[in-house]
A and B are shown apart, each in its own frame.
Chain A
Amino acid sequence: MLENYFPILMFILVGLAIGVLPVLMGWLLAPSRPDSEKLSPYECGFEAFEDARMKFDVRYYLIAIIFILFDLEIAFLFPWATVFKDIVASEPMRFFGFIEVAIFLTIILVGDAYAWAKGALDWE
Chain B
Amino acid sequence: MFNDFVAPSLYPAAPEIFLLFMACVILLVDLGVKSPRRTLTFVLTQLTLLGCAAITLLTSNTEVVYTFSGMFVDDMMADLLKLLVYGAVMLALFYSREYIQDRQAIPKGEYFVLALLATLGMLVMISANHFLTLYLGLEMMSLSLYAMVALNRESAISTEAAMKYFILGALASGLLLYGMSMIYGATGSLEITEVGERLYTYSVDKSVLVFGIVFLVAGLAFKLGVVPFHMWVPDVYHGAPTSVTLFIAAAPKLAAFAIVMRLLVSGLITQAADWQGMLIVLSVLSMGIGNLVAIAQTNIKRMLAYSAISHMGFMLLGIVTGVVGGDARFALNAYSSAMFYVVTYVLTTLAGFGLIMMLTRAGFESDELDDFKGLNKRSPWFAAMMMFVMLSMAGIPFFVGFFAKFSVLQAVVAAGYYWLAVAAVLFSLVGAFYYLRVVKLMYFDEPKIQEPIEGPLFIKVLVSANGLAVAALGLFPQFLMSLCAYALMRSLT
Contact = CB atoms under 8 A, between A and B. Distances in A.
Given A92-B7, A96-B7, A114 B2 contact: no
Contacts of B3: 90-92
Interface in B1-50: 1-7, 20, 24, 27-28, 31
Given A86-B2, A92-B2, A114 B28 contact: yes
Contacts of A114: 27-28, 31
Contacts of A83: 1
A40 to B, nearest CB: 36
Interface residues of A, number: 18
A117 B31 contact: yes
A83 B7 CA distance: 17
A107 interface: yes
A112 to B, nearest CB: 11
Interface residues of B, number: 12
B476 to A, nearest CB: 44
Given A92-B6, A92-B7, A96-B7, A113 B28 contact: yes
A110 interface: yes
Interface string A80-124: 000100110111110011000000001100110110011000000
A97 B20 CA distance: 20
A93 B4 CA distance: 9
Contacts of A113: 28
B41 to A, nearest CB: 13
A114 B32 CA distance: 11
Contact of B1 (A90, A106, A117, A118): A90
B111 to A, nearest CB: 14
B105 to A, nearest CB: 16
A86 B31 CA distance: 40
A78 to B, nearest CB: 18
Contacts of B6: 92
Interface string B443-476: 0000000000000000000000000000000000
A90 B28 contact: no
Contacts of A91: 3
B2 A110 contact: no
Which among B3, B4, B6 has the greatest number of chain A C-beta atoms within 10 A? B3
B144 to A, nearest CB: 13
Contacts of B1: 83, 86, 89-90
Nearest to B27: A114
Interface in A44-97: 83, 86-87, 89-93, 96-97
A110 B25 CA distance: 8
Interface of A: 83, 86-87, 89-93, 96-97, 106-107, 110-111, 113-114, 117-118
11 contacts: A86-B1, A90-B1, A92-B2, A92-B3, A92-B7, A96-B5, A96-B7, A106-B24, A107-B24, A114-B27, A114-B31
Given A86-B1, A90-B3, 6 more contacts: A83-B1, A90-B5, A92-B4, A92-B7, A96-B5, A118-B31
Interface of B: 1-7, 20, 24, 27-28, 31
